[in-house]
Structure formats: C-alpha cells, structure tokens
Structure 1
Amino acid sequence: MGVLYDYFRAPDDEAVAKLMAAIDGGPVVRAGDSPVADAVDGAAIDPAVVLGKVVAFALDVPWSTDLVGDRLVWPDGVAQDREYEGPWVVVLGERARDALAGIPDDRLPDLAERWSQIEELSYYSDTQPEVMLSRLREFVGLARRARASGDSIYCWICL
C-alpha cells in the first residue's frame, strides 16, 4: 500500500496531540466521514521531497532536504525508535507554509506543470499537470487558511 500522508492545520502541537488522542492516532482524512480537521489527502506527497520541490519552485530556490523544515511533534519518544512504523505527525516550518500561501493564483498552472515532471512522481499514473494543479490548489488553500488563522501545517504519516 505504501506510505500515507494527510496534511492538516492546527494551532499548536498540543492541539495535534489532543486530535490524535480523539481519533486514536488517525488517519485525519477519512473517506465518507465528517472531517476531523481542515485537511488535504496527501496521497504520495511526502513533506520533505515531493512537497519540498514545489516549495522550492515557489521560492525560486534550489531544493534541499531541509527546505520544508519538518519536525516530529507526535507521538513523544519515537524519534530514536528505528522500529516504529507510525503513525506519526510532523509540523512543517513557517517558511514552507508561507511559501505555499503566497503563491499567486496566476502562477499555479506553471508550478503544477513543473511539479508534475519531478522524478519522484514519475512512478504514479495520476500526476498529469491538470491533476497536480488541483492538488496544488488544495495545498495552497490549506496554507492560506493556516496562515490567516495563525495555524501551522502538520502532516500525519503512516506506513
């Protein structure tokens, strides 16, 4: 099945811990259920690489592994446990949130075109530019709502 990613916004790490307790560790996006948070189904879009590349495009900087600035926030104590297979939650840095939130609408098609051509997405069949444009709009919308409310963007991850 692969790795699952759900992106959502929350005011702080404590709110994330409470959310994870309420939903028994996730997932955050649940098909057919009422939303438990303002969230985007991340499919195969991991924070550091795949999302990081579109952030790099938006900022017009070279991509690097630390560009998104993600940091483990939940659960406590698993950072050193190499056997732990999830779920876990990371928070994205404000730079990544603000880069996504600040993308002008007229740049979205060009960025989606570039994003659809990255090597990491070449293994998937649903990464045509129009599909990635829809995905990018979801991420930009989430980032804009997060920035407007002073929230951070979090990513729930599970193997």
Structure 2
Amino acid sequence: MKHRYYLVACAAVLGGIVSFSVAQDNRQAKMAELKAKLAPALSLSIEELQLALSIKVHERFDGASIIADDDESTFLGKISNEVASDSIFNDVGRYGSVVSSTSIWNQVGRFGGEVARHSPFNRVSSSPPLIVKDGKVIGRLTVNKVIRGAVDPNWLKTYYK
C-alpha cells in the first residue's frame, strides 16, 4: 500500500515537472516570436521608443469619450489635451476639476475616489467608466487589473499632462 501512494505521489510530481517544462518551452517560444516581431523597434533608443509609445497612445485614445457605466450613461468628459474644455485632464474644467461632481478626479464624488461604485479608482469595481471612440467601446478606465480592456487613468494621464 505504501508503494502505491509513493508511486502516485511520484507520478503527480513528474506530471507537474512535465507541465512546468512544457509551459517554460511555450513561454520561450512566445518570447522568441515576440523578439523577432519587435526586432526593428529594438534598434531604437529608449527616447525613440517612448515617443513611439506616446504616438500610439494618442492615436488610440485622442477624442475618446468617458461614459459612466451607470443607468444614465453619464458623460464624464473626453480624453484630450489639458486645455480642451471637455477634457478629463483639464484641471479647471467641468470634467477634470477635483471639485466637479462629474469629474473622475473628485475623491468624494459619485465618479471618483476609491469607493464610488463607478469610479475608475475603485480597485474592485465591476462597472468602471467605458472608453468610447467612434461609437465603439475600446476599453474601460480603471485601476482594476482584472477588467478586460483596463486602462489605468493615472498611466493615461502621463501622456496628456
């Protein structure tokens, strides 16, 4: 009986090792594939890569609307430069001010802070604001990393301030 348990335990460990080995092989293959795909970009300097990323971020998000995932689909502003009147990054605007009721940056408002149900800063919210561009949802503005299409508002802000 002891031998049977020992064999079962050994088989389980061996199975785990094989699974780990296959996972490692898959990871290495994916890394090699990605490295080949990115080969032209890898010759760029860090500054050039940062500029390229900034260009991609702006291409993707410029002009997108932020819409609350509430019953009213409340408009919360647009992703644009900090001087645009409807920008979520305009500190003195309706949608970017820390005191405006329609701003995600208002810590005590309905759409801001860490506890508001529809806030992008609520780490457990299942209904953070939608990012909508050209009539299509392209992501969700949220710090909740388990949400598909999550875009961290603090990360995004670094490209617009």
TM-score, structure 2 normalization: 0.30
Question: Which structure shows the bigger proportion of residues in helix conformation?
Answer: 1
Select the structure with the greater relative contact order (CA < 8 A; seq sep ≥ 6): 1
